[in-house]
């Protein structure tokens, strides 16, 4: 029985290089997925928080409406609490937590001759109806 040995000095070096390349690709993919998930989680939390601030603004406007309808002439408005009652004050926007900006606008609602809501100017402006828009904006977190 005769054994033949060939010179294989460079083969193990090539195997190491290929293994490192495969490991780098897999590690890069795992990092990309992990960072993308983390970024999505943070953005989802910010959106949830912003939605809560918008709902708080709408609830505050409803509370003010229930106590004094005539106060709903202030626009743009900022909500606040005086004692245990929501109040409105004139402000272009409201900064919440040094991150979110809430803007509340109240506009008149017009109606046509059949009492259907119409684009202003129409037959008359309904004194008992207001369109309330609450907008919450923020600068997204940089990656």
Angle at 67 between CA 63 and CA 73, to 5 degrees: 85
pLDDT tens per residue, range 11-41: 677 888 888 999 999 998 888 888 877 877 7
pLDDT tens per residue, range 57-75: 999 888 888 887 776 777 8
Q: What is the pLDDT of residue 101?
A: 92
User: What's the token pair of residue 79?
Assistant: 């909500």
β-pair type (117-118, 100-111): antiparallel
- DSSP single-letter state for residue 92: S
Give the C-alpha separation, 128 to 70, whole Å. 9
Give the C-alpha separation, 99 to 49, whole Å. 11
Rounded to two decimals, the pTM is: 0.67
């Amino acid at each position: 029985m005769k054994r033949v040995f060939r010179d294989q000095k460079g083969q193990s070096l090539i195997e190491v290089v290929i293994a490192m390349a495969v490991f780098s690709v897999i590690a890069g993919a795992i990092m990309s997925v992990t960072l993308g998930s983390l970024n999505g989680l943070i953005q989802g939390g910010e959106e949830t928080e912003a939605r809560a601030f918008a709902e708080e603004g709408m609830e505050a406007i409803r509370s003010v409406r229930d106590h004094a309808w005539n106060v709903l002439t202030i626009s743009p408005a900022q909500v606040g609490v005086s004692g245990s009652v929501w109040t409105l004050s004139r402000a272009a926007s409201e900064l919440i937590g040094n991150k979110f900006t809430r803007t509340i606008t109240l506009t008149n609602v017009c109606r046509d001759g059949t009492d259907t809501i119409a684009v202003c100017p129409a037959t008359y402006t309904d004194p008992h109806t207001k369109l309330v828009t609450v907008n919450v904006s923020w600068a997204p977190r940089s990656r």
